[in-house]
Chain A
């Protein structure tokens, strides 16, 4: 028995099979198709990933001649990283993430991602824990502060969660807290992924969170919390998610990007037809996509909000989650970008006012969208850069003069933001 040879051949076998295993599966991320490289779009399991998912499922990408691979991602940070490295060409993404990343709030300052179009309005919400049940009712913003103060006194801390610093949910939450008069300095505001929000609330560690559907609906269904206010009540028809793309992709494969946008636009149109929403909920509810109960998704998609906590049902008639609104939704407005940037200053994410206009011009691919919309005969809104106000505080915001808004809002919400 030549032991040394025996050992060597056994080891060789082990190493060879290990090597084989690696070769089989650690294959490069992209498939190198000889003619055209497929386009990778990422999404996060949320109801508003529907435009991208449905565009794939309805065969719309193929219709417009592009080969798209849709991939589920682990977190917003993940989406950010992959878009920046180019591992994703684009993604279902928080509208304000490119702005947050560019200004250094939620990423390395100066990193550029582009907003090609908006995917949806509305359909996010703030869920409060059952502990507040009966103490503050739906949309009773003025009752929030004393209740929170009481909790703070009793437990020494109060915790709210959102999904990404400088992201849409972060800003909705802070706007709500400001309107309610709750000091953001004494509340813990943390970034965590959706399921931890639900579980923490279940065990009583979380007081409230702001996130997209279906997680608010799920919290109600599991009797873990109740819906306090929806994002459309904070700002009716606000921009929520966008198709955010890698800069190089937008420049070198412009025609492909336009085809993608056309497919997504058509999906958005399809989704706004209420008759299609049931099917949409079934499709996106499946495991490879949102992986949540289709009935919960469907209810809120239809505007049917079971609020939980014996508050009954709130029916939204014209401002539940909408994806198209005849073209109003999808047009990426620079005024909206400027508004988000002003919120970063308002909430002390940025010490100094950024160059609002320049950043909006750089990040938003408005001309590209115009081309696409025109070719599809979709209406292009003409009211960008006009002042507007949010429902929750009614303070007028003029995108041409954000400084003025900031002064006003700091005065009216005397409690520090």
Chain B
């Protein structure tokens, strides 16, 4: 709270150049002021983007639809997001939830695999030396390349989609976890050694608490990857989902819907990222 008042004060002084009256603002108002200001910056950014967009749509003579046309379509999509007229005709909200479900499953499975393996790799030099080359080879492989393998392995397009999310999103978590675990300071290790911590105590009271911020960072990056991949994956496998919606709209050459979907996808990605950042802040400790 104190911090925001100081910041507000200094900024207002910069702008106004004289004695700020903001000192008298209550903490709550000061915070509100902060929020409004950041919203303002965002608005400026988006206005610039929209302006550029409008320019491009005029230059390409309607090849790229105008912001206005797109917004009309966007509004149509979001004003009734949960209608359900059958398997091929569902509201955008339902499609989003469907995609999020797949992402969640793939991401969860990926995390359940990545965290223990990451801990192993970070704590044990042998494991690190054995696994690291494998990680380096598999990490850059595109999810689209994994899809046929998933199809053969699981005999199902929907399982294959979840598989490609699993296999591409687990790397950031794995690498960050390994890094966190490997960088435990000797100080903490010495405490555990000196006082005779059991392996379990070391794991739960030293290793995991220390590595937790790194793990959460990894998870945050992973969910970003997973969300990216689901769109591509659904384009390949069909079904209900925001990715398939993009593909289908593309098939019908409805760029307004494609762009609207891009906006929605971006917003959801942002929210996911913010969610994890929030958790990250909560588990970060200062020395």
- Residue numbers of A with Cβ under 8 A of B are 3-4, 6-7, 10-11, 14, 18-19, 21-27, 29, 42, 45, 69-75, 78, 81-82, 85-87, 193-195, 198-199, 202, 218, 287-292
Q: A26-B101, A26-B102 are in contact. Are A195 and B250 (CB under 8 A)?
A: yes
Closest to A291 in B: B252
Q: Please choose the segment from B15-23, B36-44, B180-188, B233-241 that sits at the chain A interface, where 4 or more of its residues have CB less than 8 A away.
A: B233-241
Q: Which of B104, B249, B282 has the most CB of A within 10 A?
A: B104
The residues of B that contact A288 with a CB separation of less than 8 Å are 85-86, 88-89
Cβ of B253 and Cβ of A72 under 8 Å apart? no
- Report the Cα distance A64→B108, complex, angstroms: 44
- Report the Cα distance A3→B212, complex, angstroms: 13
Cβ of A24 and Cβ of B101 under 8 Å apart? yes
- Report the Cα distance A19→B279, complex, angstroms: 17
Cβ of A85 and Cβ of B156 under 8 Å apart? yes
- Residue numbers of B with Cβ under 8 A of A are 63, 85-89, 97-98, 100-102, 104-105, 107-108, 151, 155-158, 162, 209, 212, 234-239, 244, 247-254, 275, 279, 282-283, 285
- Report the Cα distance A396→B250, complex, angstroms: 42
Cβ of A21 and Cβ of B101 under 8 Å apart? yes
Cβ of B252 and Cβ of A292 under 8 Å apart? yes
B interface: dominant SS: helix
The residues of B that contact A70 with a CB separation of less than 8 Å are 87-88
- Report the Cα distance A229→B254, complex, angstroms: 27
Cβ of A82 and Cβ of B248 under 8 Å apart? no
- Report the Cα distance A252→B247, complex, angstroms: 34
Q: Nearest chain A CB to B273's CB is how many angstroms away?
A: 13
Q: Which of B63, B108, B236, B252 contacts A74 (CB 8 A)?
A: B236
- Report the Cα distance A160→B179, complex, angstroms: 50
Q: Which of B63, B107, B238 contacts A72 (CB 8 A)?
A: B238
- Report the Cα distance A81→B149, complex, angstroms: 12
Q: A45-B252, A82-B157 are in contact. Are A14 and B104 (CB under 8 A)?
A: no
Cβ of A195 and Cβ of B88 under 8 Å apart? no
Q: Which of B97, B108, B155, B156 contacts A25 (CB 8 A)?
A: B97
Q: Which of A29, A82, A287, A290 contacts B89 (CB 8 A)?
A: A287
- Report the Cα distance A29→B56, complex, angstroms: 41
Q: A29-B158, A73-B238 are in contact. Are A21 and B251 (CB under 8 A)?
A: no
Q: Nearest chain B CB to A81's CB is how many angstroms away?
A: 6
The residues of B that contact A195 with a CB separation of less than 8 Å are 250-253
Q: Nearest chain B CB to A253's CB is how many angstroms away?
A: 19
Cβ of B157 and Cβ of A78 under 8 Å apart? yes
Closest to A56 in B: B86
A-B contact pairs, 6 of them (CB 8 A): A3-B285, A19-B104, A19-B108, A73-B238, A74-B238, A87-B158
Q: Nearest chain A CB to B168's CB is how many angstroms away?
A: 17
Q: A81-B157, A85-B157 are in contact. Are A11 and B108 (CB under 8 A)?
A: no
Cβ of B247 and Cβ of A18 under 8 Å apart? no
The residues of A that contact B212 with a CB separation of less than 8 Å are 7
Q: Nearest chain A CB to B194's CB is how many angstroms away?
A: 22
The residues of A that contact B151 with a CB separation of less than 8 Å are 81, 85
- Report the Cα distance A193→B236, complex, angstroms: 12
Closest to B285 in A: A3
The residues of B that contact A86 with a CB separation of less than 8 Å are 155
Q: A26-B162, A74-B236 are in contact. Are A10 and B279 (CB under 8 A)?
A: yes
Cβ of A72 and Cβ of B88 under 8 Å apart? yes
- Report the Cα distance A78→B243, complex, angstroms: 15
- Report the Cα distance A19→B254, complex, angstroms: 34
Cβ of A291 and Cβ of B97 under 8 Å apart? no
The residues of B that contact A81 with a CB separation of less than 8 Å are 151, 157
Q: Which of A14, A27, A75, A202 contacts B279 (CB 8 A)?
A: A14
